[in-house]
């Protein structure tokens, strides 16, 4: 009996030790973001926060607390010479000293009590430094009851989740033409965002924010086969062929996310304005010719972007969808939203059909629960999608949306060549 009691006590102590170990979590340094921009500081996928020289930047770590309770915050940091940081969480702020050293030190920061579940921001500001850098940060540590079922991105993939609208077309109807519109609200046109209007089983067509001074209209068609990265490995008979392109349009092959034919036109589209996209499919034998047109409001006419011939196809468009994608790591924390409306298809017989129903889906980042901040729905007569911002999701995989029908098919006059 005594031996059994000692065994039970030992097991209980081990269990207690495991619980204590489990309620300490580390948010890796490589998941951080810097505001107002990632300049004067680097967020390295291997080393975390490094080369931090600019005092105007604030480094942020976000997490989602599913439970309330006590929470202790610590920092895993080092510096080339003593430095001072200001750290805030949940309304509590502390100044901490980072000692000089070649090894990371565990630095206690503050204690707080979370009174509600939701997203929380750990903000770190450089105050003073005696060396070249404020600090290298390997991670932040959290301990306490509030860490139960805590969520944060534990991967160096700092893009937010991609979200999609999958349109429900009438069964048995072939899609020769696919028309759609996009409106990006002012302030939602963040760098590194792709607002895609007309996607189908073989490609996609939309508009991007590529940099502070550059925006593009993008149209791409995938090769046949399953080569994931290197187009040089794709057999010639499986490659998409460029048949023609519009004035000033750039066209070439692409890889890295599947392979195929890419085209883009540099065009300074503006937030707050509605833009129109039109896809055309012409099957011939075992190939299909896909052509993309963009309506240029300043010229009041449709512009040819490009036309590609896709091998091993030979059918009209299927699996119609739109999406919103954040393709920049540096600002994957910034909220962005787009409206998708007035989508139509036209059959080979000339019948226009309005698409008023859509099913919500998302990508592997969302499905793995690396990010919880995304959503979509229907409002003001339009579908919408949003991602990032560390605000609660308002849609889940498989949700069905519906918008009111406009009932007026688009009038389209294409240029003749």
Digit-coded pLDDT (tens) for 258-284 = 999 999 999 999 999 999 999 999 999
417: pLDDT confidence band, cut at 50, 70 and 90? low
pLDDT value of position 2: 34
Label residue 252 exposed, middle or buried (CB < 10 Å: 0-12, 13-18, 19+). exposed
Answer yes or no: are the C-beta atoms of 162 and 324 closer than 8 Å: yes
100 and 172 both lie in a single domain: no
Query: Which residue segment(s) compose the domain that 35 sits in?
Result: 24-147
Per-residue pLDDT, 1 = 37
Domain count for the chain, please give it. Answer: 2
- The pLDDT tens digits of the residues spanning 285-313 come to 999 999 999 999 999 999 999 999 999 99
pLDDT at 4 over 60: no
Examine residue 158 and state whether it is found in any structural domain, yes or no.
Answer: no
Domain end marker among 122, 147, 172: 147
| Domain end (from 147, 181, 209) | 147
Average pLDDT, the chain: 93
CATH number at residue 36: 2.60.120.260
Residue-wise pLDDT for 181-228, tens only, equals 999 999 999 999 999 999 999 999 999 999 999 999 999 999 999 899
Tokens 């029908």 correspond to: 405
- Is residue 415 a part of any domain in this protein? no
Q: Is the pLDDT of residue 386 over 70?
A: yes
Is the confidence at residue 108, as pLDDT, over 70? yes
Give the pLDDT band of residue 19 (cuts 50, 70, 90): very low
Q: Clarify whether residues 130 and 205 are in a common domain.
A: no
- Is residue 8 situated within a structural domain? no
Joined tokens for residue 346: 């036209």
234 and 97 together in one domain: no
pLDDT in tens, 71-99: 999 999 999 999 999 999 999 999 999 99
In this structure, what CATH number is given to the domain that contains residue 374?
Answer: 2.60.120
**Is residue 52 within 8 Å of residue 135, measured between CB atoms?**
yes
Residues 191 and 212 sit within 8 Å (Cβ to Cβ)? yes
Residues 327, 391: Cα–Cα separation, whole Å:
19
Please check the confidence at residue 24 and state whether its pLDDT lies above 60.
Answer: yes
- Whether 171 and 116 share a structural domain: no
Q: Does residue 9 sit within a domain?
A: no
Q: Is residue 134 in some structural domain?
A: yes
Phi, psi at residue 140, to the nearest 5°?
-115, 140
């Amino acid at each position: 009996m005594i031996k059994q009691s000692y065994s039970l006590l030992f097991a209980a102590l081990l269990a207690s030790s495991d619980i204590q170990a489990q309620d300490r979590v580390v948010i890796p340094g490589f998941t951080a973001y810097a505001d107002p921009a990632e300049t004067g500081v680097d967020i390295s996928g291997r080393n975390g926060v490094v080369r931090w020289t600019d005092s105007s930047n604030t480094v942020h770590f976000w997490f989602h607390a599913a439970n309330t309770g006590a929470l202790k915050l610590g920092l895993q940091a080092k510096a080339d010479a003593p430095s001072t940081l200001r750290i805030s969480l949940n309304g509590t702020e502390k100044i901490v000293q980072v000692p000089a050293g070649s090894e990371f030190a565990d630095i206690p920061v503050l204690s707080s009590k979370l009174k509600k579940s939701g997203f929380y921001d750990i903000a770190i500001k450089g105050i003073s430094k005696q060396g070249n850098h404020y600090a290298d940060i390997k991670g932040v540590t959290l301990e306490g009851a509030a860490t139960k079922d805590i969520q944060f991105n534990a991967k160096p993939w700092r893009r937010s989740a991609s979200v999609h609208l999958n349109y429900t077309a009438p069964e048995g109807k072939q899609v020769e033409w696919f028309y759609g519109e996009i409106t990006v609200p002012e302030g939602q046109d963040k760098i590194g965002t792709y607002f895609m209007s007309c996607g189908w089983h073989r490609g996609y067509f939309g508009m991007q924010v590529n940099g502070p001074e550059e925006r593009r209209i993008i149209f791409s068609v995938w090769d046949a086969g399953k080569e994931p990265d290197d187009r040089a490995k794709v057999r010639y008979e499986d490659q998409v062929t460029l048949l023609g392109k519009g004035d000033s349009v750039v066209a070439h092959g692409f890889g890295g996310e599947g392979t195929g034919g890419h085209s883009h036109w540099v065009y300074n589209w503006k937030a707050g304005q509605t833009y129109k996209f039109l896809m055309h499919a012409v099957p011939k034998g075992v190939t299909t010719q896909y052509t993309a047109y963009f309506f240029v409001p300043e010229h009041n006419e449709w512009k040819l972007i490009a036309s590609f011939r896709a091998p091993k196809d030979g059918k009209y468009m299927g699996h119609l969808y739109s999406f919103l994608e954040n393709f920049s790591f540096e600002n994957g924390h910034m909220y962005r939203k787009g409206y998708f409306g007035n989508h139509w298809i036209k059959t080979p017989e000339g019948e226009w059909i309005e698409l008023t129903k859509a099913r919500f889906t998302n990508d592997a980042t969302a499905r793995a629960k690396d990010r919880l901040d995304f959503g979509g729905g229907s409002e003001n007569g339009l579908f919408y999608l949003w991602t990032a911002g560390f605000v609660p999701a308002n849609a889940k995989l498989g949700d069905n949306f519906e918008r009111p029908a406009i009932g007026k098919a688009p009038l389209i006059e294409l240029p003749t060549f």
